[in-house]
């Protein structure tokens, strides 16, 4: 699960950065405000990669997904990208857990020497 989720979060890192560039050009917000919010979200996405194995890591990832969708109020395209990344996050968590369970079953089987 960690690999799939971390891949999604790194993709979000870049999307958040590019959305910050767009927000600087198209919104009435100051560059400092845009980068304070975008920079915080970018740092959070990288830090979450290391927190995925800890309690609450996946839940914080969901909060980041909600923030990504909410950023559509500043950059409208982020509504679409936020939903896409929310779907990727769900798939990463859902199928990542299934892969982890299958690996554990295989490691526990007597034939897995």
Each residue's pLDDT tens digit, 31-88: 999 999 999 999 999 999 999 989 999 999 999 999 999 999 999 999 999 999 999 9
Give the integer Cα–Cα distance in Å for 49 and 47: 5
Instruction: Calculate the dihedral angle through the C-alpha atoms of 8, 3, 6, 63, rounding to the nearest 10 degrees.
Output: 80
CA 64 to each of CA 14, 40, 78, 98, 113: distance values in angstroms, whole numbers, following the listed order: 14, 11, 13, 23, 41
Vertex 59, ends 57 and 65: CA angle to 5°? Answer: 110
**Which pLDDT score, from 0 to 100, does residue 111 have?**
77
**Which pLDDT score, from 0 to 100, does residue 113 have?**
56
């Amino acid at each position: 699960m960690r690999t799939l989720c971390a891949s999604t979060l790194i993709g979000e890192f870049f999307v958040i950065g590019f959305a910050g560039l767009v927000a600087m050009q198209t919104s009435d917000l100051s560059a400092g405000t845009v980068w304070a919010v975008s920079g915080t979200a970018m740092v959070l996405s990288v830090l979450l990669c290391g927190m995925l194995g800890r309690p609450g890591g996946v839940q914080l990832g969901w909060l980041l997904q909600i923030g990504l969708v909410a950023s559509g109020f500043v950059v409208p395209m982020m509504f679409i990208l936020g939903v896409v990344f929310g779907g990727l996050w769900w798939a990463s968590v859902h199928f990542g857990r299934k892969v982890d369970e299958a690996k554990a079953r295989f490691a526990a089987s007597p034939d897995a020497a």
